Structure formats: C-alpha cells, structure tokens
Amino acid sequence: MPLPKIAVPTYTCKLPGTGKQIDFRPFLVKEEKVLLLAIQQASELSDIKQAQTFLIKTFKKVLSDCVMNEKFEINELPVFDLEYLFIQVRAKSVGEKVSPTYTCSCGTPVSIEIDLNDITVVKPKKQKMTVDLGGGVGLKMKYPKADIMEKLVFEAGQLDQMFSVLVYCIDSIFDNDSQYKVSDYTHEELKSFLEELPKESFLEIQKFFDNMPHTEYKGEADCPGGKEEFTLNQLTDFFE
C-alpha cells in the first residue's frame, strides 16, 4: 500500500516590479537539503567563479520548482522581483522571522529581528526609462534581469563589472536620426561607447541606477549605546 501523501499548501504573491501574480509552494524537505548541500559543496570548490555559478544555478532551480505558474521563466524576472519572490518563498518555508546581525554605527553588533513580510520593494514615483546623454543622444534603459547573475560572476574586476551591469541594462541607444539596438553590437563596442562618454553624461546614467526599484526594510536596532534607525536593502543583509 503506498504511503499517504501530505498536500503541500500553495500561496500567492504579487511581484512588485512586473505586477505578475505568482502561485508558489514552500520548499520541500528535499529542496532544503539540496540548498544546504549546494552551499557546502560550493564552499569546497577551490574555483570561486565555479562555486558562485553553481550556487546561483541551484538557487534558481529550486526557486523555479516552487512556482506553480505555467510557462514561468525565472531568468525573465528583474533582479528585484527575484529577490522579493525568494523572500516570500523562504518566509513560507522556513519561517517569517529572521534575526540577522546589524552593526551599529558605534561598532557594536546588534541582533535584530525582521519579519520577512515587512520587506518591500521600493519603487520611485517616476522612473524615466530613458537617459539623456546630451547632444541629442540618449539611452533607452531596461531593468537588469535575473539572467545577468551568472554572467556577472565571470566579469573580472569591480569597474568592469559595473560597466557590464550597465551594458546589460541598455535596451537601445538613440540620436536624432536613428535608434541603435544594442543586440547589433558587441559587448566591447558598447563598453568603449560608455567609456568615451563625458563625465556629466555618465552621472545621468548613475541616476537611473540610484532610482531603480530595490528591496528595503527599515527598523530600529536596540544598541546598548542608544537606539539606532537602520535601512537594509541587500538580500544578504536580511539573512546574515
């Protein structure tokens, strides 16, 4: 006689960026094992890039398997929606409260408690998806999608990585006469286009990134030296 099966609950959340409704189930025991094993295996790999790629792939595969929507493609999500989704699934799988450590401005590490349901994606009131570079030239931008996570692992050096994120976020370049689709140019051609920009134009691009939607949590840390307000906005801040 087959053993009874326990029905797995399903939940729904709305992705803040795309507005898409996602139906998901929590991680199963075997998937938590896969995640924990992947962290362990990655720590044993001497090649850091290989280890990071392996972790990102495993993490996306497990998260994808929890989504019940048909034709769901995790790599099509903007990175901030992926982060939000991960937080939602984790909250329903492991628990809604996490206690990471926050380092107060006085240097004291303080244990803080976060309800994962209170983490939001902050969106600018008006985000312009074009950047004016001056002289009639401009960029049509798009948000970074989850597929850049693995690609970035292989970009050497911090500055190069910043240029790469930029290149992945440009949809097209335009001037008064034409539109140039980035897919028609090589990564190198685009990088040199960006490197040759005047500084003011580059700052305009920076503004686009500063304004990009991101996960955020605001709270107050109870430091022995006095309470301190804090804002967290990196996925890793919520769990470390």
Is residue 8 involved in binding Zn ion (CB under 5 A)? Answer: no
Give least dist CB 156 to Zn ion, A. Answer: 38
What count of residues does the chain have?
Answer: 240
Q: Which stretch binds Zn ion (CB under 5 A): 22-30, 123-131, 195-203, 215-223?
A: 215-223
User: Which one of residues 15, 104, 121, 190 is an interface residue with Zn ion (CB under 5 A)?
Assistant: 104
The residue written with tokens 């909250």 in the block is: 91
Is residue 205 involved in binding Zn ion (CB under 5 A)? Answer: no
Is residue 112 involved in binding Zn ion (CB under 5 A)? Answer: no
Query: What is the C-alpha separation between 168 and 49, in angstroms, rounded?
Result: 19
Give least dist CB 232 to Zn ion, A. Answer: 16
Residue type, 230: F
Q: Which stretch binds Zn ion (CB under 5 A): 36-44, 98-106, 181-189, 231-239?
A: 98-106
3-state helix, strand, coil in the chain (%, to 5): 40, 25, 35
Is residue 77 involved in binding Zn ion (CB under 5 A)? Answer: no
CA distances in angstroms from 154 to 27, 59, 60, listed in the order given: 29, 18, 18
Beta strands in the chain, from DSSP E residues, in sequence order? 11-14, 21-24, 97-98, 101-103, 109-111, 114-115, 120-122, 130-134, 137-141, 170-174, 179-181, 214-223, 226-232
Is residue 108 involved in binding Zn ion (CB under 5 A)? Answer: yes
Q: Which is nearer to Zn ion, 113 or 160 (CB)?
A: 113
Kindly state the number of chain residues that form the binding site for Zn ion, as judged by CB under 5 A.
5
Q: Which is nearer to Zn ion, 75 or 105 (CB)?
A: 105
Q: Which stretch binds Zn ion (CB under 5 A): 105-113, 131-139, 151-159, 188-196?
A: 105-113
Q: Which is nearer to Zn ion, 41 or 101 (CB)?
A: 101
Helix and strand element counts for the chain (H, E): 7, 13
User: Which one of residues 106, 129, 159, 203 is an interface residue with Zn ion (CB under 5 A)?
Assistant: 106
Nearest to 148 by CA among 122, 173, 170, 181: 170
The binding site for Zn ion (CB under 5 A) comprises 104, 106, 108, 223, 225
